[in-house]
Amino acid sequence: MSRVLLIGAGGVAGVAAAKMAQNPDVFGDLMIASRTLSRCEDIKANILKRGFAKNGAATRIETAQLDAMDVAATVALIRSWKPDLVMNIALPYQDLAIMDACLEAGVSYLDTANYEPPDDAHFEYSWQWAYRERFAKAGLTAILGCGFDPGVTQVFSAYAQKHYFDTIETLDILDCNGGDHGYKFATNFNPEINIREVSAKGSYWVADPAEDKPEVAVENRKAFDKGWWVETAPMAIKRVYDFDGVGKKDMYLLHHEELESLGCNLKGIKRIRFFMTFGESYLTHLRCLENVGMTRIDPVKFNGVDIVPIQFLKALLPDPASLGPRTKGKTNIGCIFHGMKDGKSVDYYVYNICDHQECYAEVGSQAISYTTGVPAMIGAKMFLDGKWRVPGVHTCEEFDPDSFMAELNLQGLPWKETFSPVKVD
């Protein structure tokens, strides 16, 4: 039986904690520590109310106040509580501080989003990959980006590569949220992180730019590892896709973090793209907020005080953790692969459909937090069971996918597959 320190107490952390409590045979003791203690206590109360004890066993839950930017405070908590694993489900800004604390206190690490500096709306793995040698030397494991996307999308990729392909040539990741919360504008996870992500330039990864025929103006091409980033204006590439369980939705090409590691790790890969669905109302509001400067991340003087517009906007928007009771509909997130096996061309689509109201009934959350929190719990279970315990810093496609895929079916995120998908042109 293991001890886990969970840092953060938002929508995703609430689901991860609830799912750990559903597996008390693995997760014996759980400490939930976050900036606002009352939110940790709310998560604990929600779990106790639901009574997730199994076969007479229940996860013992404690709570603590912690500012995870304070490395010394995190080290002190780790040393006194002695967890086997630290799960960082706070915000990407805390990744490096928590990794530093883990190294100093000698404990392994898992997160759901890659590091992003607060003053630059830009994310990439380089900052966390720079910890590879130190984690490996210390005999510690760091599992990066273990949510759905990133996370399950990379497990899907490892599974496709292991079982169905000799080489994967193209990969399209499709993230569809067909849920409706009834608000004119709200984000499904942390508003600041979400808006920074979707207002960034679009980009996709290609192995050979000479083979790429861009359909819109290319703003920039940057060499990266074995290939190139092709950068476009935000939301410049649009498709309509008919999603199983949801129906037809507009989806737009976005830059996304797992493209970076998959470009390095998939054999024979020539192109990777990521698409996410957005409704007209969301995009119109976002454009308007951008046009008036409300998504700016630099401080602005207001009545003699410095305020950061996007942080002020976050304070006005609904808390994603509160969307559970209102959100109806389904999500569908998956990967479409094309490649070769034994000299024959293969197409393969693997995806999960998740129902917002079913998630709410089970753990009190909407499906975006659910589809992130469940894989975070499974990743922790993989580590604690010893299956994903490899010293160093790793993304999810670097581990054996089979046990994780089996757990998805058992823990509330069953997947479907087809070898004749409708492809994205």
Dihedral sign, Cα of residue 389, residue 335, residue 255, residue 249: negative
Contact 342, 166 (CB under 8 A): yes
Choices 3-11, 17-25, 279-287, 300-308; region in contact with ligand NDP by CB under 6 A: 3-11
Beta pairing, strands 141-144 & 108-111:
parallel
**What string marks each residue from 348 to 387 as x (binds ligand NDP by CB under 6 A) or -?**
--------------------x---x---------------
Task: Record the tokens describing residue 369, joined without a space.
Answer: 């937090």
Nearest distance, CB of residue 41 and ligand NDP, angstroms:
11
Shorter beta-carbon distance to ligand NDP: residue 164 or 278: 278
Shorter beta-carbon distance to ligand NDP: residue 93 or 164: 93
Distance, CA of 53 to CA of 91 (rounded, Å): 29
The binder of ligand NDP chosen from 4, 5, 6, 11 (CB under 6 A): 11
Task: Record the tokens describing residue 194, joined without a space.
Answer: 């979400």
- Asked if the bond preceding 150 is cis, omega within 30° of 0, the reply is yes
Nearest distance, CB of residue 43 and ligand NDP, angstroms:
9
Q: What is the largest CA-CA distance in the chain?
A: 68
Contact 151, 352 (CB under 8 A): no
**What string marks each residue from 106 to 135 as x (binds ligand NDP by CB under 6 A) or -?**
------xx----------------------
Shorter beta-carbon distance to ligand NDP: residue 164 or 415: 415
Total chain residues near ligand NDP (CB under 6 A): 35
**Integer CA distances (angstroms), 160 to 147, 249, 331, in order:** 18, 25, 21
Shorter beta-carbon distance to ligand NDP: residue 140 or 367: 367
Distance, CA of 170 to CA of 160 (rounded, Å): 12
67 binds ligand NDP (CB under 6 A): yes
Nearest distance, CB of residue 107 and ligand NDP, angstroms:
17
Distance, CA of 376 to CA of 333 (rounded, Å): 16
- Residues pairing with 54 in the sheet: 57
The binder of ligand NDP chosen from 58, 64, 69, 138 (CB under 6 A): 69
Contact 372, 111 (CB under 8 A): no
Shorter beta-carbon distance to ligand NDP: residue 8 or 24: 8
Task: Record the tokens describing residue 349, joined without a space.
Answer: 């689509």
Nearest distance, CB of residue 77 and ligand NDP, angstroms:
11
Nearest distance, CB of residue 110 and ligand NDP, angstroms:
11
Residues 27-66 that bind ligand NDP (CB under 6 A): 34-36, 39, 66
The binder of ligand NDP chosen from 71, 193, 276, 382 (CB under 6 A): 193
Beta pairing, strands 344-355 & 330-341:
antiparallel
Which of 50, 59, 61 has the alpha carbon at shortest distance from 24? Answer: 59
Place of tokens 């409300």: 294
The binder of ligand NDP chosen from 24, 83, 92, 179 (CB under 6 A): 92
Q: Which residue is nearest to ligand NDP (CB)?
A: 10
DSSP symbol at 54? B
**Integer CA distances (angstroms), 289 to 232, 278, 295, in order:** 21, 16, 6
Shorter beta-carbon distance to ligand NDP: residue 186 or 266: 186
Task: Record the tokens describing residue 295, joined without a space.
Answer: 């998504």
Distance, CA of 23 to CA of 57 (rounded, Å): 9
Shorter beta-carbon distance to ligand NDP: residue 59 or 190: 190
Nearest distance, CB of residue 156 and ligand NDP, angstroms:
13
Task: Record the tokens describing residue 292, joined without a space.
Answer: 């008036």
68 binds ligand NDP (CB under 6 A): yes
99 binds ligand NDP (CB under 6 A): no
Residues 210-269 that bind ligand NDP (CB under 6 A): none
The binder of ligand NDP chosen from 5, 12, 155, 246 (CB under 6 A): 12
The binder of ligand NDP chosen from 83, 179, 227, 320 (CB under 6 A): 320
Q: Which residues lie below 8 Å from residue 46, measured CB to CB, with a gap of 6+?
A: 14, 18, 363, 364
Residues 140-179 that bind ligand NDP (CB under 6 A): 145, 147-151
Shorter beta-carbon distance to ligand NDP: residue 60 or 314: 314
What residues make contact with ligand NDP under the rule CB under 6 A? Answer: 7-13, 34-36, 39, 66-69, 89-92, 94, 112-113, 145, 147-151, 189-190, 193, 320-321, 368, 372
